[in-house]
Amino acid sequence: MSKHQLLDAIPRNALLWLLIAQVLVIAPHLFHIPLWIAGLWLCCAGWRVQVYRTRWKLPRSIVKVAMMTSAAFAVYLSRGGLIGLDAGVALLITAFTLKLVELRSRRDALVLIFLGFFAVVTSYLYDDSLLAALYSLLPALALLAAWTGLQQGQSVEPLRRHLFFSLRLLAQAIPFALLLFAFFPRLEPLWTLPQPGGKGKTGLSGQMSPGDIAELSQSTELAFRATFAGDIPPKSQLYWRALTLPVFDGRSWRLQDFGMDMRPGQWRAQGASLAYSVIVQPSHRPWLFSLDYSVSAQADVQQLTDFRLQRNRPVHRSYLYEATAWPQSIADPVLPAARKRQYLQLPRPGNPRTREWARQLREQYADDRQLVNALLSHFNQQPYHYTLKPPLLGENSIDEFMFDTQRGFCEHYSSAMTFALRVVGIPARVVTGYQGGEINPAGNFVQVRQMDAHAWVEYWLPGQGWQRADPTFQVAPERIEQGLQDALLDEAELLSSGLFSPMRYRHVAWVNQLRLGWENLNHGWQTRVLGYQSERQQAWLRQLFGQVNWQQIGVGLVLALVLMMGVLALWLIRPWRNRPDPISLELQKLDRLLAKHGLARGQGEGLNAFYQRCQASDRLSKAQLAALEQFCADYEAHCFAGQTVPVEQLRLARRQLTARFRPWSRD
């Protein structure tokens, strides 16, 4: 191997750290990339090890092109294309894997390390929780250790030495990261990738059919967390509106396909207000969750005509917003004729028994509110059952539910009641969202899960606006007041989480306490770190400085960074530690003394040789030579003979020589 090849070769420790880093980088991506990429990495890692052992050769150019083309085609088949978040990340991890087999020089290793850092960042596109953030430190440390291993040359050093050095580098970067996090302007992303389609993680979609919410309620996935400025309202008042579904096709309720009015609803705020903030999990949908009737001051959140809150773009990552609700407000006291017709729409055929029954009910109750109460009493007094296992329904699903099975989940009851109200001329709509939630006493917030998904009814009265009615409460009041688990104790097995999910063991006190504590930490992470966006940053800066002047903040930020770099440089260099030890300091003083009198010691000249030269020059007296000889003997005994000579003894010999140079002391 030539000298140039030896200097450019990848050290053994650096290669080991690269392999460790690749495992740590790829591991969290295994949940959303094709599993064949893991097999590809095993092949590439084995090939790389064999190349290092000089048993195999590096692949030729034609082989590398074939591997790259085949991998790209495999990604295309696995993801249905090469554009989008899933396909983009799969291509990145594939490139990160294939680069391993073509490492020829340290430059190639640096490219692989930088690609690894980028791959670590992309994992936040899927999971930005506190646990994911803590885990990301592991691959970052391994990549830093590989980087430092490249600088060691061909010398063999312990692996832990590179790890400790990487820990120091990471610790030194923390103050700079905190400063930039707090003061650097929070900008919106300059680029984005198309997100995967399909149902969002919230589970709610733009339509509701029998069985949809019952299926969703078997999931313990987190939907959002809410924090209140004051006391948390009772669970029975926590109706989190997500969507209103006005269109009915005979089986499913859905959003209006076109012509949706994006203007705010007409309402009069009255009564006490309720301020709260929500951290919603990624849903890939624009709609948010709010209490009645809410507004938000954030520029990217608006209230629509049906009084739901919606963001101006889909929620692709955890998103924090603040809102204020007025539960006692009057919403839409006057309903335009076009919208009134919309909320009375029904398909012409279908469900004849429910239509006839509703008309008979209208003959008994001319007053709209009395008729609504009669409907609710019907659900309360008749043998209806609240269940996660409702029987399948046919074409006339409402008729079959109302008069045959009488077993259903919240969507069955809300759909049947809305249909009956429209039959008798009362404008009504289905509202989907979440009801209640689990109160976390550790952080005093409400965490709402998919199992809290719910559907209820809103009906309109002239002059009084929209009124909420929940027929589920008439059948299973414990569902509203306590939660789904208490309402379905006999179907608890359907609500069980995975074997290793803490929700499965919430009846164990200490496990539940640990779970609530960890969720409180996650809530703080999402509120204070992920929720520290532009609006919060500017509010905090106004509180700190009175006004936000980005020019002054920029200058201050640069000065603070320079100051911190100066302090760090002083701490690393430590010029105060470059002083010679006391023995060497006495030698320097001796050299200056003799040089002053024309006897400078030559560069690299030892003390013994210097003494011999001084003795032959006849420029020193016997007393001076004796003092110099004593100093040289003591110094050599300390440095070369392994004897411990006190510095005071050397200092005394040097001072004696200094005294001999005084005019009155010369022999």
Give catalytic residue positions.
410, 454, 470
Could you tell me which residues are beta bridge partners of residue 247?
Answer: 254
CA nearest 358: which of 408, 428, 255, 405?
428
CA nearest 453: which of 411, 419, 482?
411
Yes or no: say if 14 and 150 are a contact pair by the CB < 8 Å rule. Answer: yes
Yes or no: say if 255 and 243 are a contact pair by the CB < 8 Å rule. Answer: yes
Yes or no: say if 600 and 591 are a contact pair by the CB < 8 Å rule. Answer: yes
Pairing relationship of beta strands 407-408 and 385-386 according to DSSP bridges: parallel
Could you tell me which residues are beta bridge partners of residue 554?
Answer: none
- Those residues whose C-beta lies under 8 Å from the C-beta of residue 493, and which sit 6 or more positions away, are none
Please count the CA atoms within 13 angstroms of the CA of 664 that sit on its side-chain side: 0
Helix axes 410-423, 352-364, angle to 10 degrees: 60
DSSP three-state, residue 255: coil
DSSP three-state, residue 260: coil
Yes or no: say if 211 and 390 are a contact pair by the CB < 8 Å rule. Answer: yes
CA nearest 221: which of 523, 524, 497?
497
How many whole angstroms separate alpha carbon 305 and alpha carbon 307? 5
Yes or no: say if 405 and 393 are a contact pair by the CB < 8 Å rule. Answer: yes
How many whole angstroms separate alpha carbon 81 and alpha carbon 85? 11
How many whole angstroms separate alpha carbon 487 and alpha carbon 479? 5
- Token readout for 400 is 């079959």
Distances from the Cα of 412 to the Cαs of 345, 391, 396, 405, in angstroms?
18, 11, 12, 11
In the block, residue with structure tokens 């003894």:
649
Could you tell me which residues are beta bridge partners of residue 267?
Answer: 331
- Those residues whose C-beta lies under 8 Å from the C-beta of residue 589, and which sit 6 or more positions away, are 654
Yes or no: say if 206 and 243 are a contact pair by the CB < 8 Å rule. Answer: yes
How many whole angstroms separate alpha carbon 367 and alpha carbon 649? 114
- Token readout for 223 is 């939907």
How many whole angstroms separate alpha carbon 433 and alpha carbon 460? 19
Yes or no: say if 535 and 528 are a contact pair by the CB < 8 Å rule. Answer: no
H/E stretch holding 457: strand 453-461
Q: How many residues are listed for the chain in this entry?
A: 667
Looking at residue 197, the DSSP 8-state letter turns out to be -
* DSSP per-residue letters across 576-641: GGGSPPHHHHHHHHHHHHHHHTT-PPPTT--HHHHHHHHHHHT-S-HHHHHHHHHHHHHHHHHHTS
